A and B are shown apart, each in its own frame.
Chain A
Amino acid sequence: KQEVTQIPAALSVPEGENLVLNCSFTDSAIYNLQWFRQDPGKGLTSLLLIQSSQREQTSGRLNASLDKSSGRSTLYIAASQPGDSATYLCAVSNAGNMLTFGGGTRLMVKP
């Protein structure tokens, strides 16, 4: 059974810092990996999708990398802003395309 772990569970940084969120998964036979953002009580916003054959994806200040063989992904956020405060969820898809989520990293960026 696929298990996804995210470290750290919570992170508080001052505005402007660059930061890294970590995600690890136990079964490397994945189709893709997605990073989501979730604001309190709200839905899931897809940030980046990395196919299993890819090593990284970039969107604006966000960069996600994937090391499938070691079962790891990182989400790099450059020049963090207070508006980046949210919970960031990593999810992997296996056969059937259903997603297995990690527990999330709750990020607080202080002005």
Chain B
Amino acid sequence: AAGVIQSPRHLIKEKRETATLKCYPIPRHDTVYWYQQGPGQDPQFLISFYEKMQSDKGSIPDRFSAQQFSDYHSELNMSSLELGDSALYFCASSFGNQPQHFGDGTRLSIL
């Protein structure tokens, strides 16, 4: 069965650079969620989209933005990267309020 696809799997950036993470949800899933998991931390909700509209916002920094496109894939844009942004970024998708299915994550390392 198709799963949530995230790209890239690994990304190395330097401070003050920008990064774009991509998420391709399971077909027919209409909701996408982004989570950030810092080293040794539990995942923290960042933002979600339902039918291409932002539905909820969590602890997402102002330097980050995200959107969901007409094909339902989503991108998380991160600017002015800081050392503390080094984390595993997960995308999950669901059909409405059904259980979320998680991708394998993008590991972002800031040098």
Contacts and interface: CB of A to CB of B under 8 A. Distances in A.
Contacts of B88: 41
Interface stretch (A11-19, A63-71, A78-86, A97-105): A97-105
Interface string B46-69: 001000000110100000000000
B84 interface: no
B55 A96 contact: yes
Interface residues of B, number: 25
Interface residues of A, number: 23
Contact of A99 (B45, B103, B104, B107): B45
Given A43-B102, A101-B42, A96 B107 contact: no
Describe A's contact surface by its main secondary structure: strand
Interface string B72-111: 0000000000000000101010101101111111010000
A96 B90 contact: no
A49 B90 contact: no
A96 B102 contact: no
Contacts of A102: 42
Contacts of B44: 101
B45 A100 contact: yes
A60 B59 CA distance: 36
Contacts of B42: 89, 101-104
A22 to B, nearest CB: 15
Given A42-B104, A102-B42, A103-B42, A49 B55 contact: no
B54 to A, nearest CB: 11
A32 interface: yes
Contacts of A44: 43, 90, 102
B56 to A, nearest CB: 4
Given A99-B45, A103-B42, A49 B99 contact: yes
5 contacts: A42-B105, A89-B42, A98-B56, A101-B42, A101-B43
Interface of A: 31-32, 34, 36, 41-46, 49, 89, 91, 93, 96-104
The 5 lowest CB-CB distance pairs between A and B, nearest first, are: A43-B104, A101-B42, A96-B56, A44-B102, A98-B45
